[in-house]
Amino acid sequence: MVGSQSDPDARLVTACQAETLRGLEGPFRELYDAYKDRVYNVCYRISGNATDALDASQETFGIIFRKLSEFRFESKFSSWVYRIAVNASIDLKRRQVSRRMPSLDAIQESELSVDGLRFELTDERGEQPQAAASRHELENEIQRAITRLSPKLRAITVLRYVESLSYEQISETLHISLGTVKSRLARAHEALDRELTPVLDRFYLG
């Protein structure tokens, strides 16, 4: 058990639990503002497009606010939020009849580690049109590679390489052992390395 005293969100969570939700006001607005970007980012990386990410984000916050009174700090609040976002995104994908392609405009930043190297793709102001097109193409390839992973590997990849969670935090978030975290990451790394190495060679080496 983590305990409320060691959780940085304890004050805010406790304030929300002491009130009745009547819209996004007061501590509920503060909680939403604190997590909206992180929740959307997780949902986007798992779902693969902006429309589904918005739907999954809305579902995530709906669950958070409905079940907030039941939260007892048995894990970190952030781990609880991430777990809800992951499950909402995966459930949404499972319910879909057809897949939609990722939206390039929705991708603002990408960060992924492949073969021990860390790549950060940011939207640089003033870049030349050809460079911008190449960057968007690479972002698209990375997102598509992540989307092609199984739901379990996709979730663990997003939490580790996009949200930068530690192995321990991932274990707590997904309710799996450290050994399972490491084995799934190894499998995800192998799959992404296989798909992205030719892409990265083409992008960086021409």
pLDDT tens digits, 35-48? 999 999 999 999 88
pLDDT of residue 195: 87
pLDDT of residue 99: 44
Q: Helix %, strand %, coil % for the chain, to 5?
A: 70, 5, 25
Indicate the CATH number of 106-206 among 3.40.50.620, 3.30.9.10, 2.40.30.10, 1.10.10.10.
1.10.10.10
Tell me the residue length of the chain.
206
Report pLDDT for 101: 40
Same fold, 1-100 and 106-206: no
CATH entry, 1-100, from 1.10.1740.10, 3.30.2270.10, 1.10.10.60, 3.30.499.10: 1.10.1740.10
Please give the model's pTM, rounded to 2 decimal places: 0.73
Domain extents in the chain: 1-100, 106-206
**pLDDT score, position 84:** 97
Contacts (Cβ under 8 Å, ≥6 apart) of 141: 196, 199
Is residue 71 within 8 A of residue 77, CB to CB? The reply is yes
Query: Is residue 91's pLDDT more than 80?
Result: yes
Do 45 and 161 meet the contact criterion of CB atoms below 8 Å apart? Answer: no
pLDDT mean over 161-187? 95
Tens-digit pLDDT profile for residues 94-144:
776 444 444 434 333 444 443 343 434 444 555 566 666 667 777 888 888
Residue whose C-alpha is closest to residue 153's, from 178, 118, 179, 190: 190
Question: Residue 117: its pLDDT value, please?
Answer: 35
